[in-house]
Amino acid sequence: MNKISKNDKSTWAIGGTTLIGIGVGFIFLPKSALLFVASILIGIGVGLVITPIISRGKD
């Protein structure tokens, strides 16, 4: 069974980049709601890409 170490913070990348996406989205919100949603999705996507890179470095 695969156990995640308590020191492994790679899963925080998804939450952190999502918050960054929301912050950037609030800048674009007065212009377009679609840009707000796109910013959130880009934040989630970047987090999903960064997570395996961070966790691979821990091995």
- pLDDT tens profile 12-21: 888 999 999 9
Confidence band for 11, pLDDT divided at 50, 70 and 90: confident
Confidence check: pLDDT of 25 > 90: yes
- Write the CB contacts of 53 (distance below 8 Å, at least 6 apart in sequence): none
Instruction: Tell me the whole-structure pTM to 2 decimals.
Output: 0.78
Higher pLDDT, 36 or 7: 36
**pLDDT of amino acid 3:** 62
First to last CA, the chain: 16
The one-letter amino acid code at 39 reads: S
- For 55, counting Cβ atoms within 10 Å of its Cβ (0-12 exposed, 13-18 middle, 19+ buried), the class is middle
Q: Do residues 5 and 58 make contact, with C-beta atoms less than 8 angstroms apart?
A: yes
